[in-house]
Structure 1
Amino acid sequence: MKASTIAEREARGRAAREHSKRSSHRAVGELRRDPIELLKESSAGRVENLVPLRYGRMAVSPFTFFRGSAILQAHDLSKVHDSGLSIPICGDGHLMNFGGFATPERQLIFDLNDFDEVSVGPFEWDLKRLTASFVVAARHMRLSRGTAESLVMTAVNSYRDRMAQYAQRGALELWYDRITFDHMAETALTPERRRAVRRAMERAASRTHESLLEKMASHDGDRWTINDAPPALFHVLGATTLFTPEESEAFRKGNVDKMVEHMWADYRKTMSHDRRELLDHFTMQDIVFKVVGVGSVGTRCLVALLVDHMNKPLFLQLKEARPSVIARFHKSPAVKHEGERVVYGQRMLQAASDIFLGWATGPLGRHFYARQLRDMKLSANIELFDSDLLDGYAGLCGWIMARAHAKASGQAIEISSYIGRGEQFAEALTGYAMSYADQVEQDYDVFMKACRAGKLEARTDEDMAADFRV
């Protein structure tokens, strides 16, 4: 098949403006939906006793509510015209889903780090999720309207400029491109900020499996056991389990050890030969349930502790992969295994992925994916950011998203041509983000009224932890 010329691909990008003008992305659309019903739908099938904790974490602020309600924005985005430029997207690229972690070569890079909602969708859906998150966060931090608008302009123009650069690169150049902390410090930060980044890198370097072992587990002279810390960590059949008696009985009847054994064998099959050999150096010590994040609360997430012959630990997280909210509201390719979808999406969008990434079918036919629990990981604490640092972070997020989209799609030329060189697209997304932040606040008010009226039960971590204190 004859390959398209660069000129033809640029023309395709510009032609997409006829389908959806850049100025049209300002629209939020006429939203007639009940946010409570959509949230209940997204809670269906989760661990019943953890759904109140999910709502409790979402109730903290409009920003935590936004983080936990990806289903609402996916629904809302499907009600307005899109660009027609569909590519692999993160699906939940809000500002807290970026972070630092170590590559297999032990180099610290900054990248997207959550792919539960990864799917094929319009490229701008990721940008709309990102920009709305900056406005909702800015309001939470009581920053001015002008500051919020500036953050969106910074993020989108950074995406535009980087995408234009990636449109000039070859396929291998894109594949090998990594945004290391060193590169980030040299190109995007002032001298003062570089010092802060260096300190962060030092902290990240200390976040290893060995440091985690000392905090999370105990040794009885024979084997390691992960300590229960409900509601965050508990053994499925232990005294502090948050599973209902019916759920616990299903695991008891099915023999948990046998279930884990089958799941482990399934996971190993998805790994390359050398990674399987490496994994076989470790023996299983213990496995517990872990409550994670905001939007993921109530989904099944297991943490396995393994050790090698030198008693050096490896913590693996086996997380339930549910259908993507993007796929629900945008026609995407059929998926055979949700865990495989997450792993493939992560490998495509990230510059370098965890060597232990894999997937498996778990108890009762649920889909899971596996990765290391924590390996030199670092996330931004935006509560401590001033407006100057937040602006730098917005530019960094735009850069990372452009790199991810360019690598995963091979459509940097088309996307760059669609956006153009001016600020029309950024101005439209600024209007969108400001309006959508209003919608988030309205939905949050409806949500809080439902909690107060008892239509939804919301409990804090402290409330639930108190249930286990003697």
Structure 2
Amino acid sequence: MTIANLVDNADRDVWEMIRSFNSQRDPQLVSQKYRKMRKNAFAFFRGTCHLFYQDLPIESSFSFAPPVWICGDLHLENFGTYKSDDRQIYFGIDDFDEGNLASCTWDIARLLTSILLAVDSLEFDRSDGDQLMRVCLNSYVNMLSAGKTGAICEDNARGIVADLLETLSHRKRRDLLEERTILSKDRRQLKFDDLKILEISKQQKNRVAQAIENWARDREDRNFFEVLDVGFRVAGTGGLGLDRYLILVEGKGSPERNYLLDLKQQLPSALAPHLIQPQPQWTNQATRVMQVQKLVQPAPPALLAAIDFNGGSYLLRELQPTQDKIELKIDQISLNQLEKLIETISQIAAFAHLHSSGKMGAVIDRDLIQFGQNLDWHQELLNYATNYARQVRVDYQDFCKATSDFQGFPYLNPIF
């Protein structure tokens, strides 16, 4: 079997597959997820990573490409900025919820498909998409062939990534606090807006605070993590419907040096049923996500921790003032800017795969370099992305017909 094959459409019920996947999540937040997915085929693709791997021809030739630690949900909007332990601001992959040990081409196939769908959403010509896919693949394999790891920061960034990093270098913690909190009598509390930060019960706040206290108890800096306020955080697309909290902590002193933390529920990866390579026996899913991020990123964020809470595992990380994404919007990005962004993103993907080489089952860098120098798989991968983008467009139309009742559906707070 070759990867150019399309999925079998016989008796394909996309709506039922999506409903089944999201059936255990908060139904009101899932309704919001569906409304986001209706925006265009690119948004639909972002919210259906599980479909991509259900459809992937696992026994195809490209599944036997060298195994590395992959993001698993690599698309154009899963990149962003963050500050590392060295206090440098980087631009890199910022979502590892689906991370696993798998063929490097799984990441690239998903990235290439996302390019074609993003081109549609930005109203560029589809011929531009073909060219941008080749830019992506060439940039990735050139960096892979060179065998050198690296990172994108203010010193070497180009185009809109450089602009973003330069802007964020001037943003202070107080700016983030003013945006997300209100100050009352020298004490901060979260700014609830019924949209992105939702108020929760006192009982639920206490449960979250207790989980943070239990985790921090043996840390020298445990006073840093004294919880001042907790709210439910609504963010992203694919993860909507899962438990997620925004936590205000004492940090380095109230009121100006408080910190904001993100606590996110982690479930098994959408890749899990389809993996070929043996995986480590992780303690829990949050540990998997945390460790994959550390294996892949040359300079991981300053705070990452796995926490047991509510009968599951959650990833704790700092919400930073220098954290942001590049959103792809019509009239805000030119074709030339998009090309430079794709070159940068493709280099980051190569850096990530090379950085994970030789670690916990991933191939050594020499094998990745040889794979990058081999031209045999390039056209097959491009063909698959082209064909699968067509499939996504069909699935998106079917999804829109099935969810017409969600159009204009009023926003409802999740049930706690």
Same fold (TM over 0.5): yes
Query: How big is the shift at 1:375?
Result: 3.4
In the alignment, which of 265, 271, 279 is matched to residue 320 of structure 1? Answer: 265
Letter in 1 for 2:390: D
Match of 1:40 in 2: 19
Contact kept? 1:54, 1:458, Cα under 8 Å: no
> Matched residues in 1 for 2:117 and 2:111: separation?
10
Q: Unpaired runs of 5+ in structure 1? A: 1-19, 186-192, 239-251
Query: Superposition pairs for residues 233-252 of structure 1, below 5 Å?
Result: 233-237=197-201, 252=203
Work out whether 1:356 is the aligned partner of 2:303: yes
> Matched residues in 2 for 1:336 and 1:459: separation?
42
> Matched residues in 1 for 2:126 and 2:142: separation?
24
Give the structure-2-normalised TM-score. 0.89
Larger radius of gyration: 1
Contact kept? 1:29, 1:80, Cα under 8 Å: no
Contact kept? 1:93, 1:127, Cα under 8 Å: yes
Query: How big is the shift at 1:449?
Result: 0.9
Match of 2:361 in 1: none
Match of 1:7 in 2: none
Query: Superposition pairs for residues 123-142 of structure 1, below 5 Å?
Result: 123-142=104-123
> Matched residues in 2 for 1:208 and 1:126: separation?
34
Query: How big is the shift at 1:418?
Result: 2.8
Percentage identity across aligned positions?
Answer: 25
Letter in 1 for 2:322: M
Change (3 A) 1:425 1:201: same
Contact kept? 1:282, 1:309, Cα under 8 Å: no
Equivalent position SS for 1:398: helix
In the alignment, which of 333, 342, 346 is matched to residue 398 of structure 1? Answer: 346
Query: Superposition pairs for residues 411-450 of structure 1, below 5 Å?
Result: 411-422=364-375, 424-450=376-402
Query: How big is the shift at 1:31?
Result: 4.9
Letter in 1 for 2:188: W
> Matched residues in 1 for 2:164 and 2:307: separation?
34
> Matched residues in 2 for 1:209 and 1:458: separation?
37
Equivalent position SS for 2:97: coil
Change (3 A) 1:309 1:144: closer
Match of 1:30 in 2: 8
The structure richer in helix per residue is 1
Query: How big is the shift at 1:179?
Result: 2.2
> Matched residues in 1 for 2:398 and 2:174: separation?
44
Contact kept? 2:83, 2:302, Cα under 8 Å: no
Match of 1:215 in 2: 179
In the alignment, which of 367, 381, 393 is matched to residue 313 of structure 2? Answer: 367
Contact kept? 1:152, 1:426, Cα under 8 Å: no
Contact kept? 2:175, 2:321, Cα under 8 Å: no
Contact kept? 1:28, 1:77, Cα under 8 Å: no
Work out whether 1:409 is the aligned partner of 2:390: no
> Matched residues in 1 for 2:116 and 2:290: separation?
30
Equivalent position SS for 1:345: helix
Equivalent position SS for 1:142: coil
Letter in 1 for 2:323: K
Work out whether 1:344 is the aligned partner of 2:291: yes
Contact kept? 1:300, 1:319, Cα under 8 Å: yes
Change (3 A) 1:88 1:201: closer
| CA deviation string 1:374-415 (max 9, x = no partner) | 331232232222111111111111110111011112333223
Match of 2:138 in 1: 157
> Matched residues in 1 for 2:180 and 2:9: separation?
45
Equivalent position SS for 2:388: helix
Change (3 A) 1:70 1:155: same
Contact kept? 1:231, 1:291, Cα under 8 Å: yes
Contact kept? 1:162, 1:399, Cα under 8 Å: yes
Query: How big is the shift at 1:84?
Result: 4.8
In the alignment, which of 51, 54, 57 is matched to residue 33 of structure 2? Answer: 54
Contact kept? 2:153, 2:165, Cα under 8 Å: no
Contact kept? 2:161, 2:341, Cα under 8 Å: no
Match of 2:152 in 1: 179
Contact kept? 2:205, 2:231, Cα under 8 Å: no
> Matched residues in 2 for 1:31 and 1:416: separation?
37
Q: Unpaired runs of 5+ in structure 2? A: 359-363
Change (3 A) 1:78 1:366: farther
Change (3 A) 1:126 1:381: same
